Amino acid sequence: MSLSENFRTEKDTLGTIKVPKDAYYGAQTQRAIENFQISNKRFPRSIIRAQGLIKASAAATNMDLEILPPTIGKAIIQAAEEVVNGKWDDQFVLDVYQAGAGTSQNMNVNEVIANRATELMDPRSGVERIHPNDHVNKNQSTNDTFHAAMQIAAIEMINEKLLPILQDLYKELDRKATEFMPIVKSGRTHLHDAVPMRLGQEFSGYAETIHSLIKQLQHSADKLYEVGLGGNAIGTKGNVHPDYHAKIIEEINRRTNLPFRQPKVIFEFMQNTGAPIRVMTTLKEISVHLIKITSDLRLLASGPRTGLAEITLPSVQPGSTIMPGKVNPAILEMTHMVCCQVIGYETAVATAGTASQLEINVMMPLIAYTLLESIDIMYHAVSTLISKCISGIQGNENICKQFMESSLALVTALSPIMGYDRASQIGKEADEKNITIKQTLEQKGLLTPEIEKALEPKGLI
């Protein structure tokens, strides 16, 4: 077959262009392919699925409103549902970095569904071609549908993946908190000795931090349910049936079993990407706290002979190409890297958010990709963190006890008995002689039964 036989010629408002013969996409997608060879990054299937949901819902709504013939509408719905189910994923070929607002991506979806629906049409229908704009995109604009698809994809991923895995992380940390509650250890502030505490109390702080972040994510994600479908280009609902916007949201809700709703003021939805920005801010905060927790665990597990070694992590792989037997905290390091990436992504989304001008934010393709990628990598990182690290952590009670008994912070118990200044002097002398607080008191003849009882670590917890 010659090169020319591998292509077909299609026409759009700019003229003719050659498109691969077997492609379901058409002229506008092909132009975007040729214009934007930037990163080889493609949109995830979550947003393609959401776009298919919107196209199927739009066709069903337009049929219900009697502005789209059932023969055409049913074919569009079938083709769109195939897109939802991933049948044509290989037809979505555009680079993430493309023309603003997602127009190219919207037309990629429109063209694939139009050509597939045409293929599905009964030859006896008398319809020669289903049009990507006139039929598939009826009552729609890129500006409302791509924005809505981004939010539908995000809330589905949050509900189905991220929130459940964060709940699992909370439960596992809470379980470890209970398991480690009998182990008494030295607390640390500024990385220096502090008063005694329980290892379980330390883990309870980690658990409650995640619990609070779950609530915060649920709150910030609620704004994603506001979708301005039917707003069309700028929110004025031009060329849109007056009942369309309410009916399509009902259809989306039926298909997703989620409570999407109309924005109170649709122009706010069209002008801004506030919901994704808010969610990304929460993902950034989750990342900050996960970095704190994983960094703590790396410190607590440091050693095993020259560090703290108060906990032991599961061994998952060799840690050195030169030092035999070395095992590193690989899962914690991976989680830290993912969180750094998400923090960087949040900056990208916030910066893109500043590009909202007048009636639209043209940076929606970048925002959509970055938001969905953040949710995805955080889900996988936390899932791995639980299964390959947190669930297998063990507490080293003897080491915790040794550190706690040698801690200079035990001198805190003496303040109510002999005063702050005198207690400080005892602590300084113990440090200079490299002996314990109790040994210092014994040497000075100050170890009374009252003081000995006060120095019991559990009494300080």
What is the CATH classification number for the domain harbouring 442? 1.10.40.30
User: For residue 3, what pLDDT is reported?
Assistant: 53
| Domain final residue pick, 138, 154, 177 | 138
User: For residue 288, what pLDDT is reported?
Assistant: 98
Cα–Cα dist 274/276, whole Å: 6
The length of the chain in residues reads 461
| Statement to judge: residues 19 and 118 lie in one domain | yes
pLDDT digits (tens, 9 = 90+) for 345-366: 999 999 999 999 999 999 999 9
Total domains, the chain? 3
Task: Look up residue 172 and give its two tokens.
Answer: 């596992």
| Statement to judge: residues 299 and 433 lie in one domain | no
Cβ pair 196, 407 in contact under 8 A: yes
Q: Is 190 a catalytic residue?
A: yes
User: For residue 2, what pLDDT is reported?
Assistant: 46
Query: Does a structural domain hold residue 323?
Result: yes
Task: Look up residue 164 and give its two tokens.
Answer: 């459940």
Neighbours of 378 (CB within 10 A): 25
Query: Does a structural domain hold residue 94?
Result: yes
| Marked catalytic residue, from 39, 125, 320, 391 | 320
| Statement to judge: residues 130 and 160 lie in one domain | no
DSSP state of 236: S
Cα–Cα dist 46/152, whole Å: 9
Cβ pair 224, 214 in contact under 8 A: no
| Statement to judge: residues 133 and 36 lie in one domain | yes
pTM above 0.85, yes or no: yes
- How far does Cα 218 stand from its chain's mean position? 12
Query: Does a structural domain hold residue 385?
Result: yes
Residue position matching structure tokens 């992504």? 345
| Statement to judge: residues 34 and 113 lie in one domain | yes
Q: Which residues of the chain have pLDDT under 50?
A: 1-2
Q: Is 380 a catalytic residue?
A: no
| Statement to judge: residues 112 and 148 lie in one domain | no
- How far does Cα 213 stand from its chain's mean position? 12
**304 preceded by cis ω (within 30°)?**
yes
Query: Does a structural domain hold residue 253?
Result: no
User: For residue 50, what pLDDT is reported?
Assistant: 98
Closest CA to 440 of 451, 427, 453, 450: 427
What is the span of the domain harbouring residue 150? 144-231+264-398
| Marked catalytic residue, from 190, 289, 391, 424 | 190
User: For residue 1, what pLDDT is reported?
Assistant: 37
Cβ pair 290, 221 in contact under 8 A: no
| Statement to judge: residues 276 and 422 lie in one domain | no
